Amino acid sequence: MESGGTNVLLDHIHQPEDLKHLTTEQLEQVAAEIREFLVEKLSVTGGHLAPNLGVVELTIALHYLFDSPDDKFIFDVGHQSYVHKILTGRKDRFDTLRMYKGLCGFVKRSESEHDVWEAGHSSTSLSAAMGMAVARDLKKANNRVVAVIGDGALTGGMALEALNHIGHEKRNLMVILNDNEMSIAPNVGALHNYLGRIRSDRHYVKAKEEVEYLLKKIPAIGGTLAKTAERLKDSFKYLIVPGVWFEELGFTYLGPVDGHNLPLLLETLKQADKVIGPVLVHVITRKGKGYSPAEADSQNWHGASPYKIESGKMIKAVGPPMYTEVFGNTLIELAKQDERIVAITPAMPSGSGLIKFANTFPDRMFDVGIAEQHAATFSAGLASEGLKPVFAVYSTFLQRAYDQVVHDICRANLNVAFAIDRAGFVGPDGETHQGIYDIAYLRSIPNMTLMMPKDENELRHMLKTAVEYNDGPIAVRYPRINGLGVPMDEPLKTIPIGTWEVLRPGEDAAILAVGPMIPVALEAAELLSKEGVGVRVINARFIKPMDEAMLLQLAKEDLPLITLEEGVQMGGFGSGVLEYYSSQNLHGMRVKIIGVPDYFVEHGSVPEQRHEVGFTVERLVSELQALVPRKRQRA
């Protein structure tokens, strides 16, 4: 694909109605211009390139045939909504995509009236669509409800639950299965297309119902004939209709259809629009369509960093390895020594750093699809039989398995190790993916041990600690950032459970810092030392259990404390410190909690997100100056 072309038609499309007067040939030109636009813009900002290149024709067809926002388009996850944003008046904002205060990389209701559903987790679209369809019917409206869901998202339990409900209720609702797996069988040819047209025709449906009714009216043999006809119909359907599973659930199935053949796609969606009741349109697309590097490697181009258009080479900052990479390499090292170790991930082998592990131990790596609940209980089953499962999962996605963590793992006190990636702020993915809640939702569960390293070297020791821990579930959380570039110790050693370490001495105040907040604490302490204030900096590496001996020592010294964590303030680590002092009747302790305030933090860079919520050296210095009595502030 060449960049820098003129958007002859795209420059004149500002709202969906601008598409409706175009010919099919012009719509195909718009598709080409959108692909060029996306490749050019995302080369600077980064973003979900491959998924959006795959849905260009599909999104154009939806906006061409239907009437957003009266008709509701629900994009599962929402990361494939860039084309939708372009066609609904946001094209001029793409230079700010995923930037602070800029265009969101997901569907966002506050951005546009055309964004009717927002999500950053998968498999929610069908449930939402069913809710909107029922609401429409109760209000006696007649708008369309269209859910676009990927084949990967159908592995999520919510999607299957919703399919069951939709098929039972028989409401008018269109589901578009955006199938971009290369292994899916090709179109079965003209006969299949013909059957699809017949089955979507209202006259055919009515005629079939009338024939069955008349057969049942024939005395004595009518019922038998009707049952025989039904069996014959089902047998025929099983032979030639690939979507029979959806048919059995109560859907009319159309497809597969080439999602890049715009005329065929338009015709199929027109047929689907005639169907009474739920209809599923099976659309075959190719991720990365139109940009050869993304087509060749859609996995790495799913969420791309900035890149050079001509070469397709991604531009990545040079520096220490990310925590994710350190995790993956260390787990291989540990697994070579311990055959009990198996790795589990819910459809994130690359993002969780497990590709090398999968190649090294193919029989000990399990990608269960987008099924976090199953992944958690599957891990519990493995642990119950003496294996050591390491469940690698993003903090935001672990939320989806909370019930299973409580009931199937912690209540049974099973030896499951959690490797919680993306803990803390996640940058451009924003509010739907922030990993700032896991401290609060895990530390309240009995039997759970929770820790976070100060650097990538300590992460390695924590992983060894986790796989050797045999007293129940244990979790290590780590951020979506590069490590600090510290030397790596050899050999690995275990860390005594519930122990903290003093990184800097001080007699006037103390900071209990967690994970990536430690450098902030050390810098603030250094600045205050120049004012004669000695601030002790403590690596509070165990969030649960805490180092009670050290907490008691701080109380004996009557040191004012600040807790600093990249997690929500409510119910977080700082709350745990207050709870401990309350349990010990130490009510005179001066404790200031610094955590994420009670609102959703939007997308931007991690430094911008930290600055927004006050995780700055300047604020920390100010808070410490307010806490430390003046007699201790030696000029």
Q: Give catalytic residue positions.
A: 287, 372, 400
Pairing of strands 449-451, 388-394: unpaired
DSSP string, 555-621: HHTT--EEEEEEEESTTSHHHHHHHHHHHTT-TT--EEEEEE-SS---SS-HHHHHHHHT-SHHHHH
Residue type, position 107, single letter: V
Residue type, position 257, single letter: V
Q: How far apart are CA 620 and CA 527, in angstroms?
A: 10
348 alpha carbon, distance to own chain's centre: 10
Which of 70, 62, 121, 117 lies closest to 86 in space, CA to CA? 62
Burial 505-531 (b: 16+ CB within 10 A, else e): ebebbbbbbbbbbbebbbebbebbeee
Structure tokens at 156: 């999520």
Q: How far apart are CA 256 and CA 506, in angstroms?
A: 69
- Alpha helices for 110-169 (secondary structure H): 125-138, 157-169
CA angle centred on 156, ends 322 and 410, rounded to 5°? 70
Which of 23, 21, 11, 87 lies closest to 52 in space, CA to CA? 87
Please report where in the chains the tokens 């610094």 appear, as a residue.
594
Q: How far apart are CA 541 and CA 513, in angstroms?
A: 8
Q: How far apart are CA 403 and CA 140, in angstroms?
A: 37
SS3 546: coil
